[in-house]
């Protein structure tokens, strides 16, 4: 079984040539030559090599060389046939000689067209020249992709081939039509905006640069290219950094945090290098209240940082910013009022130029003018009340129906005002209780208030120890707050019987007197 070498476009081209030849030549010889042309072009390359003298076995490996060889032979055959026609017109040669020259010219023309088709239908190729990641105004990252028509034969092909035929011009390999480019992540999902960029025509020697917005930040993406009649390429490329920026971009997902006074928090941050000049940067804080303390730490080692360096081949670093709040509100640290500040990364060679930023108040526009990497952060001081109950004495002794007065001090040891502080007791059954005041309207930070508890046991109470639980509750920023429970121990004494006591005392005295008298009498004897 014989496999044909040419596709539908080649067959269409061959048919067009045959039609043109039939219109120009009406002789039987021209018709036969056209038929031979179709048969020859449909034969495998090996068969044509055996029947033609213009074919070289290496022409399939080096199609441009074969095209150059066949073009030279074609031009020589054309000159020869024109010379033979002049001689025939002058009667110097026979018709047979002229037919032989025309046949040789037809063979050379067919061979030249075949070589031309081989080059024309050589596989097209689109390459990525560079892919640069950068950040313009705003927070979104962008990617600049440059693609080019990299067909291996285009540059040489257009140097020595003139396209006079309309069909040949429509098949030029130095133009690739309908090129679609998009960026994919590792899951093959499109992460670029626009999702797909289209290039109508990609000319050889004229690369085209496309701009994309990254919907998902990444240091490497897969470039998807679809072009021509359905050819496609998937290239995973590492994104270059825009070296002209000369800064380390900073970003954090937790830019705003609420922290209780006396507490600490951490802002995890990522730093990405965009610099061709510096790889060492100083870390600093701008617009930061003096009452707050901070430190930068390495997220991997936990070591404290003041400067950091990007090592060779590493363009991203992870660091943390730890912020420590005071125990009490101050003039610059006000409860529930957001504190806006900036973390900045200054290139080492510009430290002296920019100077110390810790004592300066800068706006975002001024930071942009400095052309340094920074990230805007927000801290909201929060607080919560804390109830402390102080009781000088928790053990009392009393008698039935006598009131015990217990004084306690309620103190706000938290970082926010306490509202509606309530003191409650759980006395034993049938005991009377009274609390003054029953509710403390409010307690500011470190403020205290005295509360008196009145506890009265019933008349029929049995002697012994009884416990009374004291509970405290309040609201702080509309949140319920409970204090530590206290337990008051009350000892009920048994009442004494006077008559019985006198009888017992007199009995004891009588017994003692009797013993003394008996002893005196016994000694006299």
User: Which of 64, 93, 120 is a domain's end point?
Assistant: 120
Residue with tokens 């031009």: 75
| DSSP-derived 3-state class of residue 60 | coil
Q: What is the pLDDT of residue 523?
A: 77
Quick one: residue 23, left, alpha or beta (phi over 0 = left, psi -120 to 50 = alpha)? alpha
Confidence of residue 368 (pLDDT cuts 50, 70, 90): confident
Query: Mean pLDDT in the chain?
Result: 78
Task: Clarify whether residues 253 and 375 are in a common domain.
Answer: yes
Report helix angle 95-120 to 8-24, nearest 10: 150
- Residue 513 belongs to what H/E stretch? helix 498-524
What is d(CA 190, CA 519) in angstroms, rounded to the nearest whole number?
121
End-to-end CA separation in angstroms for the chain: 164
381 touches 336 (CB < 8 A): yes
Confidence of residue 483 (pLDDT cuts 50, 70, 90): confident
Q: What is the pLDDT of residue 50?
A: 34
CATH number, domain of 294, equals 2.60.40.1510
Q: Which two tokens stand for residue 182?
A: 């998009």
Confidence of residue 137 (pLDDT cuts 50, 70, 90): low
In this predicted structure, the answer to whether residue 391 has a pLDDT above a threshold of 80 is yes
Which pTM value belongs to this model? 0.54
| DSSP-derived 3-state class of residue 283 | strand
What is d(CA 522, CA 525) in angstroms, rounded to the nearest whole number?
6
Which DSSP state fits 190? B
Compute CA distances 312 → 246, 277, 280, 317, whole Å.
16, 13, 12, 12
**What order do you get walking across the sheet with 208-214 strand by strand?**
192-193, 208-214, 141-149, 126-135, 240-241
- Residue 421 belongs to what H/E stretch? strand 418-426
Task: Clarify whether residues 104 and 201 are in a common domain.
Answer: no
Q: What is the pLDDT of residue 178?
A: 87
What is d(CA 208, CA 188) in angstroms, rounded to the nearest whole number?
24
What is d(CA 215, CA 201) in angstroms, rounded to the nearest whole number?
27
Segment 487-504 mean pLDDT? 76
CATH number, domain of 446, equals 2.60.40.10
Segment 435-458 mean pLDDT? 89
Task: Clarify whether residues 293 and 262 are in a common domain.
Answer: yes
Residue 285 belongs to what domain range? 247-382
The DSSP bridge partners found for residue 325 are none
Supply angle C-alpha 169, 170, 171, rounded to 5.
Answer: 90
Confidence of residue 7 (pLDDT cuts 50, 70, 90): very low
In this predicted structure, the answer to whether residue 158 has a pLDDT above a threshold of 50 is yes
Task: Clarify whether residues 177 and 198 are in a common domain.
Answer: yes
Report helix angle 28-42 to 95-120, nearest 10: 30
How many independent structural domains does the chain possess? 4
Compute CA distances 275 → 131, 248, 312, 346, 351, whole Å.
16, 7, 13, 12, 16
Task: Provide the residue count of the chain.
Answer: 525
Q: Is residue 401 part of a domain?
A: yes
Confidence of residue 209 (pLDDT cuts 50, 70, 90): very high
Task: Clarify whether residues 171 and 252 are in a common domain.
Answer: no
In this predicted structure, the answer to whether residue 156 has a pLDDT above a threshold of 70 is no
Peptide bond into 437 cis (omega under 30): yes
**Candidate ranges 30-34, 120-124, 322-326, 508-512; pick with highest mean pLDDT:** 322-326
Q: Is residue 498 part of a domain?
A: no
Q: What is the pLDDT of residue 51?
A: 37
338 touches 257 (CB < 8 A): no
Q: Is residue 157 part of a domain?
A: yes
413 touches 386 (CB < 8 A): yes
Segment 159-174 mean pLDDT? 54
Task: Clarify whether residues 235 and 343 are in a common domain.
Answer: no
Report helix angle 8-24 to 28-42, nearest 10: 170
Q: What is the pLDDT of residue 146?
A: 92
Query: Where do the DSSP E strands lie in 373-506?
Result: 373-382, 387-390, 395-398, 404-412, 418-426, 432-436, 439-443, 448-456, 464-476, 479-482, 486-492
| DSSP-derived 3-state class of residue 452 | strand
In this predicted structure, the answer to whether residue 452 has a pLDDT above a threshold of 80 is yes
């Amino acid at each position: 079984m014989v496999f044909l070498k040419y596709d539908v476009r080649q067959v269409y081209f061959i048919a067009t040539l045959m039609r043109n030849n039939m219109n120009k030549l009406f002789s039987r010889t021209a018709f036969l030559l056209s038929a031979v042309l179709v048969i020859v072009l449909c034969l495998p390359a090996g068969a044509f090599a055996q029947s033609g003298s213009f074919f070289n076995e290496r022409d399939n490996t080096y199609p441009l060389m074969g095209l150059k060889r066949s073009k030279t032979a074609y031009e020589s055959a054309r000159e020869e046939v024109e010379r033979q026609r002049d001689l025939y017109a002058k009667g110097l040669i026979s018709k047979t000689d002229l037919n032989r020259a025309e046949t040789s010219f037809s063979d050379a023309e067919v061979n030249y067209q075949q070589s031309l088709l081989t080059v024309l239908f050589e596989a097209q190729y689109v390459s990525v020249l560079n892919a640069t990641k950068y950040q313009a105004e705003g927070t979104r990252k962008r990617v600049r992709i440059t693609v080019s028509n990299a067909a291996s034969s285009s540059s040489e092909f257009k140097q020595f081939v003139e396209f006079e035929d309309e069909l040949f011009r429509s098949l030029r390999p130095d133009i690739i039509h309908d090129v679609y480019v998009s960026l994919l992540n590792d899951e093959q999902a499109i992460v670029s905006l626009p999702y797909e960029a289209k290039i109508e025509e990609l000319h050889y020697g004229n690369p085209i640069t496309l701009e994309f917005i990254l919907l998902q930040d990444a240091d490497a993406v897969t470039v998807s290219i679809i072009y021509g009649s359905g050819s496609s390429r998937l290239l995973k490329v590492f994104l270059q950094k825009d070296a002209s920026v000369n800064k380390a971009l900073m970003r954090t997902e937790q830019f705003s945090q609420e922290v209780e006074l006396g507490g600490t928090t951490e802002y995890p941050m990522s730093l990405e290098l965009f610099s061709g000049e510096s790889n060492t940067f100083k870390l600093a804080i701008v617009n930061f209240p003096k009452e707050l303390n901070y430190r930068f730490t390495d997220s991997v080692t936990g070591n404290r940082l003041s400067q950091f360096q990007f090592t060779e081949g590493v363009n991203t670093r992870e660091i943390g910013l730890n912020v420590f709040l005071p125990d009490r509100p101050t003039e610059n640290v006000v409860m529930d009022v957001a504190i806006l500040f900036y973390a900045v990364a200054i290139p080492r060679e510009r430290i002296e130029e920019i100077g110390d930023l810790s004592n300066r108040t800068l706006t975002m526009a001024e930071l942009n003018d400095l052309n340094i990497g920074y990230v805007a952060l927000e801290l909201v001081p929060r607080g919560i009340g804390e109830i402390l109950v102080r009781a000088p004495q928790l053990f009392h002794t009393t008698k039935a129906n006598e009131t015990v007065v217990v004084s306690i001090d309620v103190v706000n040891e938290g970082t926010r005002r306490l509202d509606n502080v309530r003191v409650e007791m759980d006395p034993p059954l049938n005991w009377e209780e009274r609390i003054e005041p029953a509710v403390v309207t409010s307690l500011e930070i470190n403020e205290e208030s005295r509360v008196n508890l009145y506890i009265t046991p019933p008349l029929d109470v049995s002697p012994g120890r009884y416990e009374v639980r004291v509970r405290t509750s309040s609201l702080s920023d509309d949140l319920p707050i409970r204090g530590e429970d206290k337990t008051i121990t009350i000892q009920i004494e048994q009442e004494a019987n006077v008559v019985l006591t006198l009888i017992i005392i007199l009995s004891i005295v009588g017994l003692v007197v009797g013993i003394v008298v008996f002893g005196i009498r016994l000694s006299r004897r």
